[in-house]
Amino acid sequence: MNRPRVTQFFSKRRDRVIRYVGARLLVSVGLLFTLAFCLFPVLWQVITALKPASDLATVPPFFPTQPTLDHFHTVFTQRPFARILFNSTAVAILTTCVCLLAGTPAAFAFAKLRVPGQRGLLTGILAVSMFPPIAIVGSLFLLIRFLRLRDTWWALILADTTFTLPLTIWVLTSFFRDVPDDLLRAARVDGCTARQALWHVFLPVVTPGLTTAALLTFVFAWNEFLFALTFTATDASRTVPVEIALFPGVHEMPWGEIAAAATVVSLPLLILVVVAQRRFVSGLTAGAVKG
């Protein structure tokens, strides 16, 4: 081509700009679709929760003609939903406490001390988290009935621990391993036993790991369904997932109420995610990519 060099230069640059703009457009469209896919069901639920009952039977209209909080009101008055939220919260918090209390010293020992049979123990503990819950729910049921723990928080806490304790140990071991060995040596030289080193030196240093493990455990316990379905009988210990799954409806499903309940349950988690997303990400990936 014998175009003058000036125009050649400009057309090359134009190609580059077009390619750049094209790429940006692709990314934006992709992100839009992704966000739509991820958020639409959630938003639809919120919209449904706000629709008066008359609007529910037909779609369109897509948006509520007159947004109302009736469904939310019904959820909390028709059923002791507040109590059920309380059950879920208590079980989740207590499970988190149990896991941290048992898991932290174990993770520290696995990471920094010499535990006899270490590799086998760690593999075994991690293997437990790969159990199908269904494989132990029957026996656990019999055990819990035998201990007369049926329909109590402790039944769920015990059962949830099966899967959250390995997870906690896995995450924390990774974090403890990242702490330099010399820190333990310095603590020993300064007069600490292993226990004192853990308390005075290591715990403050792995606080991000503790937070991550706590968050992951809390979310797991909060969302857990199979054990809750099996071990709870009354509102005394029923948790949110069971309530949502078994939402009472005689002839037709009270979709408005279900949507309202779902929204109430999802809201704190949503806030938690947006606020703490970096922690979750680092914790999950730290364990996974290294392990």
The answer to whether residue 184 forms part of the interface with another protein (CB under 8 A) is yes
User: Where in 137-166 is the site for another protein (CB under 8 A)?
Assistant: 137-143, 158-159, 161-162, 165-166
For residue 95, the SS3 value is helix
How many chain residues touch another protein (CB under 8 A)?
Answer: 113
Question: What is the rounded radius of gyration, in angstroms, for the C-alpha atoms of the chain?
Answer: 26
**Exactly one of 6, 135, 148, 234 binds another protein (CB under 8 A); which one?**
135
Shortest distance (Å) from residue 145 CB to another protein: 8
Burial class of residue 92, CB neighbours in 10 A (0-12, 13-18, 19+): buried
The answer to whether residue 35 forms part of the interface with another protein (CB under 8 A) is yes
Site mask for another protein (CB under 8 A), range 197-236, x = bound: -x-xx--xx-------------x--xx-xx---x------
The answer to whether residue 110 forms part of the interface with another protein (CB under 8 A) is yes
Shortest distance (Å) from residue 162 CB to another protein: 5
* 4 versus 120: smaller Cβ distance to another protein: 120
- Tell me which DSSP letter residue 198 carries: I
The answer to whether residue 120 forms part of the interface with another protein (CB under 8 A) is no
Shortest distance (Å) from residue 95 CB to another protein: 11
DSSP assignment of 202-271: IHHHTHHHHHHHHHHHHHHHHH--HHHHHH--STTT--HHHHHHT---SSS--HHHHHHHHHHHHHHHHH
The answer to whether residue 81 forms part of the interface with another protein (CB under 8 A) is no
User: Where in 245-274 is the site for another protein (CB under 8 A)?
Assistant: 245, 247, 255, 258-259, 262, 265-266, 269-270, 272-274
The answer to whether residue 98 forms part of the interface with another protein (CB under 8 A) is yes
Q: Which are the contacts of 102, defined by CB distance < 8 A and separation ≥ 6?
A: 161, 165
Q: Which are the contacts of 4, defined by CB distance < 8 A and separation ≥ 6?
A: none
d(CA 173, CA 286): 10
